[in-house]
Structure 1
Amino acid sequence: MENAGGRSRNVLFLAFLGVYFIVMSSAQLSEAAYGPLKGTQKTNAYATMLYMGTPRDYEFYVAARVMLGTLVRLQVDADLVVIASATVPQHWQKTLIDEGAKVVVVNDIQNPYKAEHHFEKRFEFTLNKVYAWSLTEYQRVVMLDVDNLFLRAPDELFQCGQFCAAFINPCIFHTGLFVLQPSNETFSNMMLDISGRKANRDGLDQGFLGSQFSDLLDRPMFYPPVNGSRLDGLFRLPLGYQMDASFFYLKLKWRIPCGPNSVITFPSVPMLKPWYWWSWPTLPLGLSWHEKRVATIGYETETPVLIVESFFYVVTMLLAMIIRQRCVAAEKNSIKSCFGRGPCAEKKLWYPWALKLAVLASVAISFLIPAYVIPTTVHPFMGWGLFLLGSLSLLTVVINMFQLPVLPVLTPWIGGIGALLVLASPFYKNGIMRGVGIGVYTALATPFLWWAIQKVCAAVNVRTHWDSPLMAWTGVRSEPASETVMKLC
């Protein structure tokens, strides 16, 4: 037990050093590196939109800042425009302006399709994209979703025609990036079509624009004229302007031969967007997105929260270890554990299964709480480091509270580290081999997890009486010694 305590302290020390190094390094990142675009108004614009009413409003706001900051660093020859709902907080709007964007405040377009049974409420205001056609001060606008990751400045897109989009799906173009020519007439006609409930297969911007430009698949591919002139008409964009991240995960490399590899898009499930710390290493491209964040807005907002949480977990673990040492000292004085028949065992445990459930629930909560309170958009190394520190801290409390064996309780924690190493391994040749490796690890780890559950349940079974360990703590001072001793920790 002494060796286990020493190992726990070593793990604590290493985890704390890792989190401290990452957090303090991130504190050096300054938003001053985000150089706003200056000068007169440009003839073209990159535009995105922000609206409120989803559980992930803040995450999309951060993603928008990173995307726009990347365009600034790429020195694009265009204005940056944010079409913001009137409900977007004023301080968010001010930050976007300070970082070089023009904010155009609009009223949300009421979605007439939201009563349909298949409609998802989080997409209620995606029809606000139609406002891009009202930006008539520009000759061309590239309309963007915030989950685009730019590898280069694709300013040649402004040479495209009245409407241009890429086909990720073989038959349906993707509205995460498209080029348009602003027109008040087109804008008015689209608003009439919305109010008239024109056919829309999904009730969203995707379905609406698909019905507006239903023949785009038959249009020619866009190739920018070498003389820099603008084209007229509708065009399909090469896939290099909307590289679906899922194409990368199959080969673990990019193989997009059509068009310059310019923009990565992440049309995945919402909880696996690249800005979430937990999406890596499940989705390796998450690190690429965070590289852009490091280079643009940094983590200045989240750093104080990370420091406070790290300090709390370290103090909690140290207190648990101190109490553990006092308990060991109590054993040497022959004071019985609360799980024995000593003076502090005052409550009979009538339902051992209830204690088993409480123990297993406590172990699960030790993982859930740190995951829940970590800021969602921090760097994966910060997030996972703090998660491991927090879960280790709370597991230490559980071990002492219920007097459980150390190794079985820490088995899921150790297994989690192994899973991260397997997922993040750089030695896979392709996504198929990566999937096989994950499957093999799961098969090998499952028996150990089952063994750990059995050991924990067995430790609970031998207890026939239970009361709060805090009573044992007070009993050290007030009750006489007993000849029979059980280990408290």
Structure 2
Amino acid sequence: KTLEKNFDEVILVEELNSNDIEHLRLLSRPELGITFTKINCWLLEQYSKCVFLDSDCFVLREIDDLFEREEFSAAHDAGWPDCFNSGVFVYRPSKETFRKLMLFASEKDASFDGGDQGLLNEFFSNWRSSDISRHLPFIYNVTSNAFYSYLPAVTRFRNEIRLIHFAGSLKPWHLTYNPQNEQLSGNLDGQSDIQRDFLLSWWRIMYQRVWPQLSIFNESHLLGSFNSTSLSNSERFEVGSIEHLRAWATGHIEYTVR
């Protein structure tokens, strides 16, 4: 209901999993198998053109001009620039493209990393040599590893960044936030000051704009820091599990579980 209050249309989709344990092991990200689910976005034929954003993306500035791009437009992946990062891309919904993607995904080794990025890079393999206008500027998808590999550039272009993509295993919701002193705690080892600033900005919006809409929580949950002190070790659950969702619904907040 909260999503429906903030978005024009909310659509439930069927989960798709690559179940490609071998390639996911190489990536050390076994949880990414379910990212095949994003293929469903090609079914949105009620729209002529769409921009897909991963749920760990944080929009800092206007990105409406992405709709001036054509399918398939995406930004280079910082880890292997001949590939695009699939967290942000421009596409045209088409049931025929969906059908072809599903057929392609069923083939052996369709995805070189076991996730959607490997799959989409193989399917749209002409992206690397296609029209340069389909190569989005990096400022539209600044991934977390850029903070480690090229911090000087991040510092130089900080004020031009349109979107931060918290790619990798550390997500903002894995941290705890204290609204009284605006401090973050958790696994922040090795995080640059700039990245900490972006993580803090995400949490400020979460606290100021999202949290008040979650009517299942009472005011006492806004005092002090958001943490897992209300749960004993035996009561911590896997994120997304029925037990985890039930704990949230009854007011037992767990932001640090992985």
- What TM-score comes out, normalization by structure 1 length? 0.38
Tell me which stretches of 4 or more aligned residues in structure 1 moved more than 4 Å: 114-117, 279-282, 305-310
Partner of 1:267: 167
Change (3 A) 1:127 1:220: same
One-letter amino acid of the structure 1 residue matched with residue 11 of structure 2: V
Question: How much does 1:124 deviate?
Answer: 2.6
Partner of 2:240 in structure 1? none
Give distance in 2, aligned partners of 1:199 and 1:191: 10
Alignment-derived partner of residue 348 in structure 1: none
Aligned pairs for 1:218-237 within 5 A: 218-222=129-133, 235-237=134-136
The 8 Å contact of residues 273 and 279 in structure 1, kept in 2 or not, is answered as no
Displacement of 1:106:
2.0
Whether 1:254 and 2:254 are equivalent positions in the alignment is no
Match of 1:464 in 2: none
- The reply to whether residue 294 of structure 1 matches residue 195 of structure 2 is no
Task: Determine if contact 2:144/2:166 at 8 Å carries over to the other structure.
Answer: yes
Structure 1 residues 296 and 306, CA, compared in 2 at 3 Å: closer, same or farther?
closer
Query: What residue in structure 2 maps to residue 106 of structure 1?
Result: 13
Residue 214 of structure 1 is matched in structure 2 by 125
- Verify: 1:181 aligned to 2:181, yes or no: no
CA distance in 1, matches of 2:103, 2:139: 34
- In 2, Cα distance between equivalents of 1:98 and 1:238: 32
Change (3 A) 1:106 1:281: closer
Count of residue correspondences: 212
The structural deviation recorded for 1:260 is 4.8
Instruction: Call closer, same or farther: CA 1:280–1:302 in 2, change over 3 Å.
Output: farther
The one-letter code sitting in structure 2 at the alignment partner of 1:151 is: L
**Cα gap change, 1:116 to 1:172, in 2 (>3 Å):** closer
Larger Rg: 1
Shift of 1:181: 0.8
Q: Structure 1 residues 287 and 251 mapped into 2: Cα distance closer, same or farther (>3 Å)?
A: farther
Q: 1:304 aligns with which of 220, 231, 253?
A: 220
Map of 1:163 onto structure 2: 72
C-alpha contact (below 8 Å) 2:57/2:166 kept by paired residues: yes
- Please state whether the residue corresponding to 1:102 is helix, strand or coil: coil
Q: Does 1:242 align with 2:141?
A: yes
Q: Indicate the SS of the match to 1:122.
A: helix
Q: Shift of residue 309 of structure 1?
A: 9.6
Contact preservation (8 Å) 1:166, 1:174:
yes
CA–CA separation in structure 1 for the residues paired with 2:153 and 2:130? 32
Percent of matched pairs sharing the same residue: 29
Q: Is the 8 A contact 1:129 1:205 kept in 2?
A: yes
Quick one: which amino acid aligns to residue 96 of structure 1? L
Q: Provide the C-alpha distance between the structure 1 equivalents of 2:186 and 2:208, rounded to a whole number of angstroms.
A: 20
Flag structure 2 segments of 5+ consecutive residues without an equivalent: 177-184, 238-251
Which residue matches 1:132? Answer: 41
Does the 8 Å CA contact 1:279/1:286 hold for their aligned counterparts? no
Structure 1's unaligned 5+ residue stretches are 1-93, 223-234, 314-367, 379-489
Distance 1:124 1:171 in 2: 22
Cα–Cα, structure 1 residues 116 and 178, in superposed 2: closer, same or farther, change >3 Å?
Answer: closer
Contact 2:42 2:93 in 1 (8 A): yes
The 5 A counterparts of 1:294-373 are 294-298=207-211, 301=217, 304-305=220-221
Distance 1:246 1:167, change over 3 A: same
Query: 1:210, 1:376 → 2: CA distance?
Result: 35
Q: Which amino acid aligns with 1:255?
A: R
- Change beyond 3 A, Cα 1:295–1:218: farther
CA deviation profile, 1:133-192 (whole Å, cap 9, x unmatched): 111111111111111111112111111112111013222210111111111111111111
Between the aligned partners of 1:265 and 1:219, the Cα distance in structure 2 is 24
Letter aligned with residue 141 of structure 1: C
Alignment of 1:464-483 (within 5 A): none
Q: After superposition, where does 1:361-400 map in structure 2 within 5 Å?
A: 375-377=253-255
Aligned counterpart in structure 2 of residue 152 of structure 1, from 61, 69, 74? 61
Deviations 1:220-249 (A, max 9, x none): 333xxxxxxxxxxxx111101011234346
- Structure 1 residues 239 and 195: CA distance shift in structure 2, 3 A: same
TM-score, structure 2 as length reference: 0.69
Q: 1:182 to 1:273 in 2, by over 3 A?
A: same
Distance (Å, rounded) in 2 between the aligned partners of 1:172 and 1:295:
37
Counterpart for residue 479 of structure 1: none
| Structure-2 change in CA distance of 1:202 and 1:142 (3 Å) | same
- Distance in 2, matches of 1:236 and 1:252, equals 19
Q: After superposition, what is the alpha-carbon deviation per residue over 1:374-423, rounded to whole angstroms, capped at 9, x for unaligned? A: 94449xxxxxxxxxxxxxxxxxxxxxxxxxxxxxxxxxxxxxxxxxxxxx
